[in-house]
Structure 1
Amino acid sequence: MLAAGLPPTAASGTPHPTSPQEGTVSAADLLAEVTSCSQISNGRYRTDADSPAIIPVCGKNGAVFWKADMDIDCDGQRTAKCNENTDPWYQDDTAFHQSDGKPLRSDTLPYVVVPSVSGTWDYTAAGIRGGGVVAVVHNNQVQYAVVGDTGPAKIIGEASYATAEALGIDPDPATGGAESGVTYILFRNSRASPIESHDAAVSLGDRLAREFIRNN
């Protein structure tokens, strides 16, 4: 939930990620809980259209997770960084919207893309929904994000421009991203409110990360 006393940027819907290590839980502690996979998806995903389907969705107490690459999602509100000229695949909408009804803003809001519902996996059946909180771990850093968009039904491993930028990953939607080494931990039945408040995601995410470690 949105705590009292947050800076104006959080309430205005234009929060900016402030640190590549957010909250009190370390990357090492989170990664220690996801060393093995109890697969909950009916099949596996590709990281790109021409790559083999080798990525399972895994289940743990309180969360689901996967380990993949990071492609850059620059969809949503049209900005100087995210538009038809910067992103060959640009779309002016996101699956989930801000509290004012507008699409999310990829270049300022850290969010993660989940595969569209298919026979491989139904994210809604796993307790994952728009605004759900995600811990994204890369290069010994933790960045909290929300579930903000849906992507191709057979591909996994995508996050917003802001998520990549905060983690030191090249956020260019055409040429950037990370080829591997990204862990996505999605906390079941969670929701940052409002979805566009990064501070809300960090506050709730830090609490859920501590619970995740304590309960696994």
Structure 2
Amino acid sequence: MRKLILLATLALTAAVTPSALASASPAPATVAAAPTAAQLLAKTTGCKQISNGKYKTDEDASGKTVAVCDANGAVFWKADMDIDCDGQRTSQCNENTDCCYQDDTAFHQSDGKPLNAAKLPYIVVPSSSSIWKYSSSGLKGGGSCAVIYNGKVEYAVIGDTGPTQIIGEASYATAKDLGINPDPSNGGTDSGVTYICFKNSTVSPIENHSNAVSKGQSLATTFVNNN
């Protein structure tokens, strides 16, 4: 009797399973691998502005055109890229190569030294002002960011702070990795750069770029899936 019941159960399961699978709702699509530049940019087409006004891209820019936008798990802005060569003195970054060179950065390595702009991909956030306080958006030194330009994605950290009225700046290494002229005297690009910084994130130690990449890819995947 038990054998007959078992056979009947198996037959019923075989008959029901295909139709049950066919009628089941498909699982929502998710990004399995690190997001592409296009996937990230697709989530930044609109702007829920959180900055109190807009920023200039350069000191001599004619107007303020860049807003900081809020998203689920991140903030982002679209701007230019000026070259930051501050921090440790190197052959690429020093008083002779950069008229505005400073031998310090707002945030430091785990050994207390300034960051190395020629080696470490990092971005610059505007110093806190009435326009926007980056800390109020869950950003801090060592925070994880994705920088997108011309179809490429660079994962960087928040490494320095800049003028209160200007936005759009990253280290020599960031520019070089994205194919942008990194020369502090004549490099950078006037437009086309998107900066996405993930809220409440930290890369530790700040100078470890491999950690920045793995952390950034994970957070970027979550960002794409949740927006």
TM-score normalized with structure 1 length: 0.89
Matched, 1:91 2:102: yes
Distance in 1 between the 2:200 and 2:53 partners? 23
Gaps of 5+ in 2: 1-32
**In the alignment, what sits opposite 2:88?**
77
Matched, 1:169 2:180: yes
Deviations 1:149-180 (A, max 9, x none): 00000000000000000000000001000110
Distance in 2 between the 1:154 and 1:163 partners? 22
**In the alignment, what sits opposite 2:48?**
38
Q: Which runs of 4+ in 1 moved over 4 A?
A: none
Deviation at 1:24, TM superposition (A): 1.9
Matched, 1:68 2:79: yes
Q: Hey, which of these two has a bigger chunk of helix by percent? A: 2
Matched, 1:183 2:194: yes
Q: Which amino acid aligns with 1:211?
A: T
Bigger relative contact order (CA 8 A; separation at least 6): 1
Gaps of 5+ in 1: 1-22
Q: Which amino acid aligns with 1:118?
A: S
How does 1:204-215 map onto structure 2 within 5 Å?
A: 204-215=215-226
Deviations 1:65-115 (A, max 9, x none): 000000000000001110000000000000000000000000000000000
Distance in 1 between the 2:47 and 2:103 partners? 35
Distance in 2 between the 1:64 and 1:171 partners? 25
Distance in 1 between the 2:217 and 2:179 partners? 20
Secondary structure of 1:125's counterpart equals helix
Distance in 2 between the 1:64 and 1:24 partners? 19
How does 1:13-32 map onto structure 2 within 5 Å?
A: 24-32=34-42
Structure label with greater radius of gyration: 2
Distance in 2 between the 1:24 and 1:42 partners? 33
Distance in 1 between the 2:45 and 2:169 partners? 21
Secondary structure of 1:33's counterpart equals helix
**In the alignment, what sits opposite 1:49?**
59
Query: How many residues get paired?
Result: 194
